[in-house]
Structure 1
Amino acid sequence: MIEIQSRQNAALKHLARLGRERKYRRSTGEMLCEGEKMLGEALRSGAKLKTVLVRDGWDSPLVKEAEEQGASLYSAPDALFKLASEVETPQNVIFSCSQPQWTADALDGAGQVLLLDGLQDPGNLGTILRTAEAFALGAVVLCEGCADPFSPKVVRSTMGAVFRLPCVTLPLAEAAERLHRNGLPLYATALHEDSVPLSSVSLSKAAVIIGSEGKGVTEQALRLSDKRVIIPMKGRAESLNAGVAAAIVIYEMTK
């Protein structure tokens, strides 16, 4: 294990850039993760671990396992260790690993799919991915304008689901064409005069579009959908948080 003694250390700067820069994450094909639980999830999923940084004095059998799988190990005093993290009080281990790679082929065997149309909030995205994996949804598609699924906040919010759930980045039109070819009807969640209650359509084999937090689904999504659906509400609220709406849709799809 190499002891980091300077903020100019290349490994430390690499981890910090992974946390800050989407373009850098894309160019390296890596993502930044934090915590012993996430390290265990990464190891169990078979993710390729790259760089593991631990706080001075901390140890875990998982660190040894990461080293055996080829990861480079580093330790750092608290002041330097914190430079690699995006949170105020980081956990005891920060690491980088290869981003999970899912292609459009993952949709071919998926009977129930959620499409996210311009969902920009990282916390909502992470929560949706975690919920989708918890209910064994077939796949989630990230369409144009979505947050980076490999940003630290999204990764933290997934609680490990990022390693297991098929999550495909695909233009909406291409995703719709593929899903229709696979025999899945496409429903858009939208408040419209011809919208029908979510419970009135069959979701046993279907795809549902959730729109962005502020604008909802796009006009393109409405054109591509076979039907528009709503989640009936008895109160006076006009809409639901995107993460909450997605959770209700996922539950209805998989119950």
Structure 2
Amino acid sequence: MTGGDPRLIESPQNPRVKLWTALAETRGIKKHGAFLMAGRKTVPEALKRHAGHFNAVLACREADIAALKPLASLERFVLSKALFEALDVNGTGFPLLVGRVPDMAAADFSKAPKGLELVCALGDPANLGAVLRSAAAFGAKRVVLMEAAAHPFHPKALRAAANAQFELQFLKGPGWAALNDAKGAVAALDGGGEDIGDYKWPRDIRLVLGEEGLGLPAGLKARRLSIPTTGAVESLNATVAASLAMQAHFSAMRKG
């Protein structure tokens, strides 16, 4: 069913409800290749700019669905209040969108990057979402997700990224060892690295973010860059450091 009158669902045993419920966790997102989007600002914006990524809309009132534009051929479902609230994990009270996770090809480090390419191992989905928002803002079109990285379409990542996912191409990263033989420039954020203000940014480069807490793997072959601070705190949050680094590349490219 596409378009037309909404279908009413009241049973928690409904197969669709079971599928949507699974999308609160990474395992369910990977299994079904789907995600749930929530947000009073992000849902209307996503429909306006990225409608092709979605196939259904969920709400607890038919009038809430009718108020959304454009709905095009999306399937429409009205859920009982209890079912909807269970799926609306952020408590927005606003219609939810069901989307398709885009295919993610394997990254090929034997080919040089084009522009700024982010290589990321952040495991916290909220942190990943925040970094993706900065990546889209500062022109990093490709994001390589290493094995430890959170899923970019996890509900927390979607909330933090504010629709940035739809501006980016995601690739599955190989093991860290493959990065040692990567073609082209590779730089990694490291508190013990050289001052990022002295670095001459190439246009084409892979910028590497390690895991929270663990940092970069030992022996990684990359130019190490650090963000200078007053030293009043031990280190910057990974999302802040990454945002500053991507802005530095963006600024350097604007200056030519």
The 5 A counterparts of 1:22-33 are 22-33=26-37
Whole-angstrom distance in 2 between the partners of 1:207 and 1:130: 17
Q: What's the counterpart of residue 213 of structure 2?
A: 214
Q: What's the counterpart of residue 3 of structure 1?
A: 8
TM-score, structure 2 normalization: 0.83
Aligned sequence identity (%): 29
Query: Are the counterparts in 1 of residues 177 and 220 from structure 2 also a CA contact under 8 Å?
Result: no
* 1:213 CA displacement: 1.9
* 1:73 CA displacement: 0.9
Q: What CA RMSD, in Å, does the superposition of the two structures yield over aligned residues?
A: 2.5
Whole-angstrom distance in 2 between the partners of 1:98 and 1:175: 29
Q: What's the counterpart of residue 61 of structure 2?
A: 56
Q: Which amino acid in 2 is paired with 1:10?
A: P
Q: What's the counterpart of residue 239 of structure 1?
A: 235
The 5 A counterparts of 1:176-215 are 177-178=181-182, 180=183, 183=184, 185-192=185-192, 195-205=193-203, 206-215=205-214
- Comparing 156-165 and 42-51, the one that deviates more: 42-51
Q: Which amino acid in 1 is paired with 2:206?
A: A
Distance 1:85 1:177, change over 3 A: farther
- Comparing 147-156 and 96-105, the one that deviates more: 96-105
* 1:163 CA displacement: 1.2
SS for the counterpart of 2:23 is: helix
Whole-angstrom distance in 2 between the partners of 1:148 and 1:188: 21
SS for the counterpart of 1:246 is: helix
Whole-angstrom distance in 2 between the partners of 1:77 and 1:27: 25
* 1:75 CA displacement: 0.7
Q: Which runs of 5+ in 2 are unaligned?
A: 1-5, 252-256
Choose from 135, 153, 161 the match for 2:156.
Answer: 153
Query: Are the counterparts in 2 of residues 197 and 232 from structure 1 also a CA contact under 8 Å?
Result: yes
- Comparing 127-136 and 107-116, the one that deviates more: 107-116
After superposition, the C-alpha distances for 1:40-63 in whole angstroms (9 at most, x for unaligned) are 444422534233211215335675
Whole-angstrom distance in 1 between the partners of 2:177 and 2:55: 35
Establish whether residue 252 from structure 1 lines up as the match of residue 248 from structure 2. Answer: yes
Query: Are the counterparts in 2 of residues 40 and 62 from structure 1 also a CA contact under 8 Å?
Result: no
* 1:28 CA displacement: 1.6
Query: Are the counterparts in 2 of residues 130 and 159 from structure 1 also a CA contact under 8 Å?
Result: yes
Distance 1:15 1:135, change over 3 A: same
Query: Are the counterparts in 1 of residues 196 and 225 from structure 2 also a CA contact under 8 Å?
Result: yes
Q: Which amino acid in 1 is paired with 2:84?
A: F
Aligned length: 241
Whole-angstrom distance in 2 between the partners of 1:36 and 1:48: 18
Distance 1:100 1:46, change over 3 A: farther
Q: What's the counterpart of residue 3 of structure 2?
A: none
Q: What's the counterpart of residue 163 of structure 1?
A: 166
Whole-angstrom distance in 1 between the partners of 2:224 and 2:113: 24
Distance 1:236 1:37, change over 3 A: closer
Query: Are the counterparts in 2 of residues 113 and 137 from structure 1 also a CA contact under 8 Å?
Result: yes
TM-score, structure 1 normalization: 0.84
Q: Which runs of 5+ in 1 are unaligned?
A: none
Distance 1:37 1:61, change over 3 A: farther
Q: What's the counterpart of residue 38 of structure 1?
A: 42
SS for the counterpart of 2:156 is: helix
Q: What's the counterpart of residue 115 of structure 2?
A: 111
The 5 A counterparts of 1:59-74 are 59-60=64-65, 63=68, 65-66=70-71, 68-69=72-73, 71-74=74-77
SS for the counterpart of 2:248 is: helix
Whole-angstrom distance in 2 between the partners of 1:31 and 1:176: 34
Establish whether residue 126 from structure 1 lines up as the match of residue 126 from structure 2. Answer: no
* 1:164 CA displacement: 1.3
Query: Are the counterparts in 1 of residues 191 and 225 from structure 2 also a CA contact under 8 Å?
Result: yes
* 1:224 CA displacement: 2.4
Query: Are the counterparts in 2 of residues 48 and 98 from structure 1 also a CA contact under 8 Å?
Result: yes
